[in-house]
Amino acid sequence: MKNENNNFSKLNKLDKPQGNNSLKIISLGGFASVTANMFVYETSRDILIVDCGVGFPEEEMMGVDLVIPDISYLNDKKEKIRAVILSHGHDDHIGGLPYILPQLPKNLPVYAPKWALALSQMKLEEFGIFANLNEIDQKTSLTLGDFRLEFVKVTHSIPDTYHILLKTPIGNFYHAPDFKLDLIPVLGQPADQVRIQELGRQGITCLLSDSLGAERPGFTPAEAKLIEMFESEIKTCSGNFFVTTISSNISRLKQAIDVSVRHGRKVVPVGRSIEKNLELADKLKYLALPKEVMLTKKQVKDIPQGKLTYLVAGSQGQIGSALDRIVAGEVDSVKIKKGDKVIFSTDYIPGNETAIRRLIDNIYRLGAEVVYSDIHDHIHVSGHGSQGDLGKLMELIKPKYFLPIGGNYRNLVNYKKLAISRGFKENQVILADGGMVVEFFSDGSVKTNKKIETRQVMVDALGVGDVGNVVLRDRKILSEEGIVVIVLPIDQSSHTLDGEPEIVTRGFIYIKENLEFLKQTKKFTSQVIEKTKGKRMDYRFVRNKVQEELEEFFFKSTGRRPMVLPVVVEV
Amino acid sequence: MKNENNNFSKLNKLDKPQGNNSLKIISLGGFASVTANMFVYETSRDILIVDCGVGFPEEEMMGVDLVIPDISYLNDKKEKIRAVILSHGHDDHIGGLPYILPQLPKNLPVYAPKWALALSQMKLEEFGIFANLNEIDQKTSLTLGDFRLEFVKVTHSIPDTYHILLKTPIGNFYHAPDFKLDLIPVLGQPADQVRIQELGRQGITCLLSDSLGAERPGFTPAEAKLIEMFESEIKTCSGNFFVTTISSNISRLKQAIDVSVRHGRKVVPVGRSIEKNLELADKLKYLALPKEVMLTKKQVKDIPQGKLTYLVAGSQGQIGSALDRIVAGEVDSVKIKKGDKVIFSTDYIPGNETAIRRLIDNIYRLGAEVVYSDIHDHIHVSGHGSQGDLGKLMELIKPKYFLPIGGNYRNLVNYKKLAISRGFKENQVILADGGMVVEFFSDGSVKTNKKIETRQVMVDALGVGDVGNVVLRDRKILSEEGIVVIVLPIDQSSHTLDGEPEIVTRGFIYIKENLEFLKQTKKFTSQVIEKTKGKRMDYRFVRNKVQEELEEFFFKSTGRRPMVLPVVVEV
């Protein structure tokens, strides 16, 4: 993609030797991904990392807890890394720190807004990791090697979300992860659009922008809009009022608390994540919890019907979450019953739809009312900008290039369409995918012909990266077909079976009802070994032969293909 | 639920001895379920079965292909069964036949509309099952023991969908599974609302009604509405035009063919299910395929760009379906490329959202346009009625009782709210769940205090019902944590280890990178057995001890809990 737009000029470059310089942008979590955000900005001398998030395992990643970005690209460049910058406190932007920070240079500075910093600190402490954490705000200006940084506060579904301006020898880059342009935010101030426009006027080589909402027309509604919904729902609730939402959405929780106070209800947070987030938000003065109405779930005994609001974690139907356990009747002090109302003030995160709907069914079974997005249009607002918000940022910044991030590939494509509909040219938008290296040059050109390997590094309990495709493939077979282990006691000298084969099976068939079948299997195995006699005498041959023949035997008799594992024991 | 509405009267009863008679309605697939439809209508002398469908495995049912209704309730009542009636040809209404029919009395008559009959026949032939299939239509009137039946043709997303009026000694029942009131259907006639009203005037004890759309306000739009969408999308498509939808939706396919003909395109069905359905629809004269434009995928070579429409199976993102394989580049003769457009004219069936969205991303990666419900509101219409349709049927029938079916529990609750909003009383609506027995008496009362066991019978390859909860629980552990089999060669006389334990593991850790860890595990196991020496000498004790200690050992060292299976081999 050669620069064809020669009247673009006056990039606000720093006074640095230029030579053959370039700036590379790489997404270690892979471009065209919503989560596992981790971006590398690299000049010949310096590297800056923006965000360090986790991803969530896909359906096929059985037993995997988390996915983290692959930092192997940085392995031979660690001395170039100047800092990690965090844009905001969502897990897909900070959750990778405990796994990745220990692999980066010791004492590497991490810069973060106050709220993200507090959450990161809590997270790192759980892992016993000390980090060099530094707070930034709107007034911060940093010089880190080739990079000079400024920060722009914007609005999102978590407090303290920032955009980052990176001035580099190659040009200025405006990094705009998750945001919306909420003009009347519940907490804090709206984004300063005048300042954004000023930064744009300094000349921006590339705008890296959130693209998740690029399919949605209009502007994303303001968070404050939801107060009307809360009002009308609480008014018609004779019993206890339950609100579930993403626990980090402090503004949403504040609105639920405010409306409860107005209606004379006490408020009870339930679930570790909500309790922790509210406590921290109060301590850091993001909100002032009305102490006189806040109760713990142990203190509700004498509160009359209809005078309680519960703020409950588990809006995604997660097994074992507070809401799941309450609905299952496992929480002694909190019951849902007729007259109560449960508000799902949340998006269905892709992949969770079935679990959420099942939870809703079960709440209805308890006789309560449920309000959720299938029956109510205005119960949740997204934290991500729609076409209006995204287009507005395009116009304020007027960059030379666009690099949509934070979306699936279809969102990037729709972001591109949006840019074109706003009068930008098709070749101004870079559609990056996977491990693509987006390289900007001082003559204004950009190349995308290099590619790095980015695997998904899987975290399974204490193991980071030790679960790979082989293990996952085995888990998949095990999960669908089960396993049959057949132990073959083989006489060392005669190489024949000394006794009966032993069979252990799990996940294949119900053993108690299939004793006869297992007997047949043993007999069949003995025959197979009998037949190999005098052929080749190494155990590998015996094992392979038994495995092969048993696989066929099982498929013919059951239609299934369990994993067959013969074990030879010399006796 | 005692009858409190005594002015309801004149049930059109048959001339039968009454006595202590009752009519039971049971859902063998469980009430509050969308799929696995199979209803039992039972008097003291006779049983009628309505529909015989399959369900689809939930996420936890690993490796399970299908779920079928549990017919164990019928085991001691088989001589009472008079017939199976099928309402329409969707798999969740007919797909259970090959598994269930062989367990019912030989030569039991099956009554079905022409289209459902043809599909059933095809399905049964694949299994080599002969069945006594009989065609019904609007004029059919059947007397089967205590039951006299009439049929009402309605509209749905598959041709030939019927409602069933069952006249019984206890009263008349109107069985209304999946339907919408499409006034301008693409194929056939609209439902005859005058006749429905007449049937209602004969007095209906209970209306069993589709409830799936009870959350949606208004009427479900007519199928024919989509022609505008097809027109505007095909007009702006310079390349090949791809349409994917549920393969049994003949009306949808007809519209895609019609618009293609008008725009001078040849039409190519791709995928076994679509090819088969179109061929059958043509043969049975549901539509007349324009032979001169229909091509197979082998015949497209010389057709110029922009002159083809592909009708492709796989709208739910199913792995291995035609669309999945085309997108993966595995179908030689069909490629998707820049300029092409792919229309997802379909619902996202719950649970498939992630797979569908991933497929959409990959089509965008090929450079084609994609039109899907996230970016286009009018690309699909449901086959199920919304509040308008459902409410209209309520008013035409004016039953004494309502029994919502074909929905999840939340849909039943919303159906009840709808009935109340239309002026019916709360106690007229029966919310049935699971194995509830809904029993109607000749005095007009209804009881719901009995319950039968209904398990979900799982079909896994050739096995029907042999995969139960134990096997599934094992599969779940195996899938998330893997398995470690440890073979212990134990000396028969000394009860000590004779040689090294042998370890086989799958899905737990990557073996090649963890040889040292496996060595430690063997050593640890030897120590455990050493410690048991002189304690209790039975192998069960040794096995349990090894299992327990290894589980702890693994959890401490890896954080994981693989299934640990010690096998003792006597040497």
Domains of chain A and CATH, by start: 23-218+382-464 (3.60.15.10), 223-371 (3.40.50.10710), 481-570 (3.10.20.580)
Average pLDDT in the A340-363 region? Answer: 93
Marked catalytic residue, from B160, B178, B182, B210? B210
Q: Is the pLDDT of residue B13 over 60?
A: no
Number of A/B CB contacts below 8 angstroms equals 189
CA distances, A320 to each of A139, A185, A352 (Å): 42, 32, 14
Check whether B457 has a pLDDT greater than 90.
no
Neighbour-count burial of B184, counting CB atoms closer than 10 A to its CB (0-12 exposed, 13-18 middle, 19+ buried): exposed
The residue type found at B44 is S
pLDDT at B18 over 60: no
Q: What is the DSSP string of A498-535?
A: -S--EEEEESSS-GGGGHHHHHHHHHHHHHHHHHHTTS
User: CB–CB of B396/B201 below 8 Å?
Assistant: no
Nearest CA to A368 among A428, A413, A323, A304? A323
Distance from CA of B364 to the nearest CA of A (A): 6
Residues of A in contact with B354 (CB under 8 A): 58-59, 350-351
CA distance B538 to chain A (A): 17
Give the CA dihedral A41, A47, A49, A54, nearest 10 degrees: 100
- 8 A C-beta contact, residue B554 and residue B564: yes
Inter-chain CB proximity B478 and A507 less than 8 Å: yes
Cα-trace Rg, chain A? 29
Say which of B471, B476, B482 has its CB closest to residue A474: B482
Amino acid at A46: D
**Which of A:470-509 have CB within 8 Å of B?**
470-472, 474-476, 478-483, 485, 487, 489, 499, 502, 504, 506-509
To probe the interface with B, which of A56, A426, A474, A493 has the most B CB atoms within 10 Å? A474
State whether B467 and A509 contact (CB < 8 Å). yes
pLDDT for the residue numbered B536: 60
Instruction: Determine contact, residues A469/A555, Cβ cutoff 8 Å.
Output: no
Residue A240 scores a pLDDT above 90: yes
The pLDDT score that the predictor gives to residue A4 is 40
Interface test with A, best of B371, B386, B410 (most A CBs within 10 A): B410
The span from the CA of A42 to the CA of A166, in Å, is 11
C-alpha dihedral, A181 to A183 to A185 to A189, nearest 10°:
90
| A215 part of contact set with chain B, CB < 8 Å | yes
Of A470, A559, A570, the CB nearest to B510: A470
- Greater model confidence, A451 or A65: A451
Distance from C-alpha of B187 to C-alpha of B86, rounded to nearest angstrom: 20
Q: Which of B458, B543, B569 to mutate to test the interface with A (most CBs of A within 10 A)?
A: B569
Give the model confidence (pLDDT) of B84-101 as tens digits. Answer: 999 999 999 999 999 999
List, for residues B462-499, the tens digit of each pLDDT value.
777 777 778 888 888 888 888 998 988 888 777 788 88
**Are B166 and B40 within 8 A, CB to CB?**
no
Q: How, if at all, do strands B401-405 and A457-460 pair?
A: unpaired
Which of B74, B151, B73 lies closest to B454, judged by CA?
B73
Alpha-carbon gap: B185 to the closest alpha carbon of chain A (Å): 27
Mean pLDDT, rounded, for A431-438: 97
The reported pLDDT for the residue numbered A475 is 86
Q: What is the 3-state secondary structure (H, E, C) of A196-236?
A: HHHHHHCCCCEEEEECCCCCCCCCCCCHHHHHHHHHHHHHC
Q: Which A residues in the span 51-110 are in contact with B, Cβ-Cβ below 8 Å?
A: 58-59, 62-63
Q: What is the mean pLDDT of residues B116-120?
A: 97
List strand residue ranges (DSSP E) for B298-400, in order: 308-312, 341-344, 369-371
pLDDT at A1: 45
pLDDT at B312: 98
Share of chain B above pLDDT 70, in %: 96
For A324-337, b/e burial (b = at least 16 CB within 10 A) is bbbbeeebeebebe
The tens digit of pLDDT for each residue in A55-70 reads: 988 777 777 888 999 9
Contact at CB, B476 and A479, closer than 8 angstroms:
yes
Q: Tens digit of pLDDT for each residue in A541-561?
A: 888 889 999 999 998 888 888
Q: What is the band of A17 on the pLDDT scale with cuts at 50, 70, 90?
A: very low
Reported as a pLDDT band with limits 50, 70 and 90, residue A370 is: very high
Residue indicated by tokens 């309680």: A308
Q: How far apart are CA B96 and CA B51, in angstroms?
A: 9
Task: Give the residue, A20 or A511, on which the prediction is more confident.
Answer: A511
Q: What is the least distance, in Å, from the CA of A46 to any CA of chain B?
A: 32
Mean pLDDT of chain B: 91
Closest CA to A110 of A127, A88, A146, A135: A135
**Which of A384, A389, A460, A495 does the annotation list as catalytic?**
A384
| pLDDT tens figures, A75-126 | 999 999 999 999 999 999 999 999 999 999 999 999 999 999 999 999 999 9
Q: Provide the β-strand partners of residue A84.
A: A49, A110
Overall average pLDDT of the B453-462 stretch: 82
A384 is catalytic: yes
Q: Compare CB distances from A364 to B58, B413, B560 and report the shortest one's residue.
A: B413
**Residue range A169-195: mean pLDDT, rounded:** 96
Enclosing H/E stretch for A487: strand A483-490
Cα angle: A384, vertex A388, A391; to 5 degrees: 95
Catalytic residue (one of B88, B93, B163, B384):
B384
- Which tens digit of pLDDT belongs to each residue from B358-390? 999 999 999 999 999 998 889 999 999 999 999
Contact B361 A58 (CB under 8 A): no
Nearest CA in chain B to A514: B466
**What mean pLDDT do residues B180-197 have?**
96
Chain A hits for B462, CB-CB cut-off 8 Å, are: 557-560
Yes or no: say if A212 and A383 are a contact pair by the CB < 8 Å rule.
Answer: no
Measured CA distances, B439 to B170, B432, B446 (Å): 10, 11, 5
| pLDDT tier, A429 (very low <50, low <70, confident <90, very high otherwise) | very high
Q: What is the pTM of this model?
A: 0.88
Q: Do A63 and B365 touch (CB under 8 A)?
A: no
How high is the pLDDT of residue A2?
43
Please give the Cα distance from B383 to B379 (Å, whole number). Answer: 13
pLDDT in tens, A457-501: 888 877 777 777 788 888 888 888 889 989 888 887 777 888 888
How confident is the model at residue B535, as a pLDDT?
65
Rounded-to-integer distance, Cα B544 and Cα B566, Å? 8
User: Cβ of B354 and A62 within 8 Å?
Assistant: no
CB of B366 within 8 Å of any CB in chain A? no
CA angle A28, A29, A34 (to 5 degrees): 140
- A65 Cα to chain B: minimum distance (Å): 10
* ipTM for the whole complex: 0.85
Flag the least confident range among A28-42, A450-464, B244-258, B357-371. A450-464
Do residues B121 and B94 lie in contact, with contact meaning Cβ atoms separated by under 8 Å? no
Q: What is the mean pLDDT of chain A?
A: 91
Is the pLDDT assigned to residue B142 strictly greater than 70? yes
B217 touches chain A (CB under 8 A): no
pLDDT at B537: 63
How does residue B20 score in pLDDT terms, banded at 50, 70 and 90?
low
Task: Provide the pLDDT confidence category of residue B52 given band limits of 50, 70 and 90.
Answer: very high
Confidence of residue A535 (pLDDT cuts 50, 70, 90): low
Chain A, 135-164: which have a CB under 8 Å from a chain B CB?
none
Structure-token match 């065209």, residue found:
A32
Q: Is A558 on the interface with B (CB under 8 A)?
A: yes
> What's the token pair of residue A317?
């139907």
Interface residue B515 vs chain A (CB under 8 A): no
A14 pLDDT more than 50: no
Inter-chain touch B463–A558, beta carbons under 8 Å: yes
Which residues on neighbouring strands pair with residue B173, listed in sequence order? B166, B206
> What DSSP string describes A230-276?
HHHHHHT-SS-EEEE--TT-HHHHHHHHHHHHHTT-EEEEESHHHHH
* Neighbouring residues of A186: CB distance < 8 A, sequence distance ≥ 6: A223, A224, A251, A254, A255
**A504·B565 Cβ contact <8 A:** yes
Which residue has 């269930």 as its token pair?
B100
**Helix, strand, or coil (residue A42):** strand
**Cβ–Cβ gap A474/B480 under 8 Å:** no
Mean pLDDT of B505-519: 84
